[in-house]
């Protein structure tokens, strides 16, 4: 069977799996599990492959699941990855498949990623006698919660003998049929900082006798914004955002302590070093001016996701010839983080976005929103592109 004929047959079989994809995705959506707690989700994935006769490994690096599909002829080992954890968000959608777990929902599309990859695994296994190489289905836990599931899964051998890896993220703000992909950095390194300010509290009527931790913290929040504008090369992108400012005092008490928590995002390792150093320099300077002390902690999260050129070109060529794809665009880099970055530090590959905007504009919400949802047809598009990239990689 020619590769073109095989690809058409696989796409046809994926079409026939669409209703099953929807059913599986909605099951996961109704019964979400938080990062590192995904035992039932992992058991479902393992059971699915076991019912097909596909060899698997479970508890990989935690709750991860691997499935292995061997073609009939030698060829490259292609890994495909989907994540399956949910978020601590209350589902506010009025749909039959809304989350049944209070305070937990799939607000980022991981349920759709998993349903799509299960269908790809099923169809590749059904066609294994016509395939070349090995196909590794990586079902990853804990993407949402650093240090993430990718790193421990890699340490536990999920990429052993792998030559390349492909992954996608359903993107609910882009129209269905759109594929966004680019070489180089596509998602940012995502770091976290915590600043504890130790001043001197007192009565709100006597500020001259205090070292106001709220005032000091406010100056720090404002001054941090000068780092990006004056310390980072304007050719390079960076973001510093303070997300939490805590000083739990009565209205008439000047705080002796305040805590700031925020995130720093960058694509460049040198910029990452600058941000870590300059944030503390600002904190030290402001606290010194007011006679206060501080504690500073900078935690490095996921590295930047950096796609490999040849593998990205391969993915783009496959996408342009995939049924259901209407446009393939060079997407803009995203400041969001993703632990797919760890895979790309070990093997070549690419990470792309699949448009998944609901058809009704009023139902389009950003990722991590309580009313987040996807156009389920995007799962089929993602599955076809992933399968096509995998089975044709030996030709690239």
Residue 371, number of CB atoms within 10 A of its CB: 18
Instruction: State phi, psi for 40 to the nearest 5 degrees.
Output: -70, -35
pLDDT value of position 1: 77
**Considering 143, 174, 278, 338, which one is annotated as catalytic?**
143
Report yes or no: 312 and 179 within 8 Å, Cβ to Cβ: no
**Global confidence as pTM:** 0.95
Interatomic CA distance for residues 97 and 273, integer angstroms: 44
Domains plus CATH for the chain?
3-185+304-395 (3.40.630.10), 189-299 (3.30.70.360)
Interatomic CA distance for residues 319 and 180, integer angstroms: 10
- Of 303, 345, 312, residue with least CA distance to 154: 345
- Of 158, 163, 165, residue with least CA distance to 56: 158
Identify whether 278 is a catalytic site residue.
no
**Considering 85, 144, 311, 339, which one is annotated as catalytic?**
85
Nearest 5 degrees, angle CA 35-CA 41-CA 46? 125
Low-confidence ranges of the chain (pLDDT < 50): none
Residue 304, number of CB atoms within 10 A of its CB: 24
Identify whether 143 is a catalytic site residue.
yes
Report yes or no: 286 and 198 within 8 Å, Cβ to Cβ: no
Interatomic CA distance for residues 153 and 65, integer angstroms: 9
pLDDT value of position 396: 80
pLDDT in tens, 288-315: 999 999 999 999 999 999 999 999 999 9
User: CA 42, 48, 51, 56 torsion: positive or negative?
Assistant: negative
């Amino acid at each position: 069977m020619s590769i073109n004929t095989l690809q058409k047959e696989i796409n046809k079989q994926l079409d026939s799996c669409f209703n099953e994809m929807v059913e599986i995705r909605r099951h996961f959506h109704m019964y979400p599990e938080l990062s590192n707690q995904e035992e039932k989700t992992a058991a479902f994935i393992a059971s699915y492959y076991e019912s097909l006769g596909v060899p698997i490994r479970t508890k990989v690096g935690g709750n991860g699941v691997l499935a292995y599909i061997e073609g009939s002829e030698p060829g490259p080992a292609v890994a495909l990855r989907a994540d399956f954890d949910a978020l601590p968000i209350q589902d506010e959608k009025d749909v039959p498949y809304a989350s049944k777990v209070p305070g937990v929902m799939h607000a980022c599309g991981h349920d759709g990623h998993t349903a799509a990859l299960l269908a790809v695994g099923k169809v590749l296994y059904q066609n294994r006698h016509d395939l070349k190489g090995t196909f590794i289905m990586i079902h990853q836990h804990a993407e949402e919660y650093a240090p993430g599931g990718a790193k421990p899964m890699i340490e536990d051998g999920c990429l052993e003998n792998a030559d390349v890896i492909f992954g996608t993220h359903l993107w609910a703000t882009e129209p269905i049929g759109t594929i966004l992909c680019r070489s180089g950095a596509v998602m940012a390194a995502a770091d976290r900082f915590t600043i504890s300010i130790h001043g001197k509290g007192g009565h709100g009527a006597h500020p001259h006798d205090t070292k106001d931790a709220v005032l000091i913290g406010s100056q720090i929040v404002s001054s941090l914004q000068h780092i990006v504008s004056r310390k980072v090369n304007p050719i390079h992108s960076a973001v510093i955002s303070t997300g939490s400012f805590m000083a739990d005092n009565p209205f008439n008490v000047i705080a002796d302590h305040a805590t700031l928590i925020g995130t720093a995002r960058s694509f460049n390792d040198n910029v990452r070093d600058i941000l870590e150093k300059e944030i503390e320099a600002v904190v030290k300077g402001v606290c010194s001016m007011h006679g206060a002390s501080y504690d500073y902690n900078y935690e490095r999260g996921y590295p930047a996701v950096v796609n490999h050129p040849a593998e990205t070109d391969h993915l783009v060529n496959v996408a342009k010839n995939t049924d259901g794809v209407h446009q393939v665009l060079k997407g803009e880099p995203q400041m969001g983080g993703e632990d797919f970055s760890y895979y790309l530090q070990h093997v070549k590959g690419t990470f792309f976005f699949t448009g998944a905007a609901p058809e009704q504009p009023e139902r389009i919400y950003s990722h991590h929103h309580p009313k987040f949802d996807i156009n389920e047809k995007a799962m089929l598009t993602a599955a076809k592109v992933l399968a096509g990239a995998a089975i044709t990689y030996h030709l690239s």
